[in-house]
Amino acid sequence: MRRTEREAAYVEFATARRDRLRRIAYGMCGDWHRADDLVQNALVKLYVAWPRVHRSGTEDAYVRRVLFNAAIDDSRRAVRRERPTEVLPETAGRVGVTVEDRDSLVAALQQLPAQQRATVLLRHWLGLSVAEVAAELGISEGTVKSHTSRGLSALRGALSVVEP
* Residue 66: domain span: 3-77+96-162
Average pLDDT over residues 44-70: 91
Do the domain assignments include residue 90?
A: no
Please give the single-letter amino acid code of residue 38.
Answer: L
Contacts for 55 with CB less than 8 Å, ≥ 6 apart? none
At residue 2, the pLDDT reads 84
> pLDDT band at 130, cuts 50/70/90?
very high
Average pLDDT, the chain: 85
In the chain, the number of structural domains is: 1
In-domain check, residue 35 = yes
The pLDDT tens digits for 95-124 are: 566 777 788 888 888 899 989 999 999 998
Cβ partners under 8 Å of residue 25, min gap 6:
34, 35, 36, 38, 39, 42, 67, 71
Q: Residue 142: inside a domain, yes or no?
A: yes
- CATH number for the domain harbouring residue 26: 1.20.140.160
Is residue 158 in a domain? yes
Highest mean pLDDT: which range of 106-115, 126-135, 141-150: 141-150
Secondary structure of residue 81 in the 3-state scheme? coil
pLDDT of amino acid 90: 66
Instruction: State the pTM of this model.
Output: 0.56
pLDDT-derived band at 81 (thresholds 50, 70, 90) equals low
In a domain, 9, yes or no: yes
Asked if residue 115 is part of any domain, the answer here is yes
Instruction: Give the separation between CA 26 and CA 36, rounded to whole angstroms.
Output: 8
Asked if residue 91 is part of any domain, the answer here is no
87 is a domain residue: no
d(CA 155, CA 120): 10
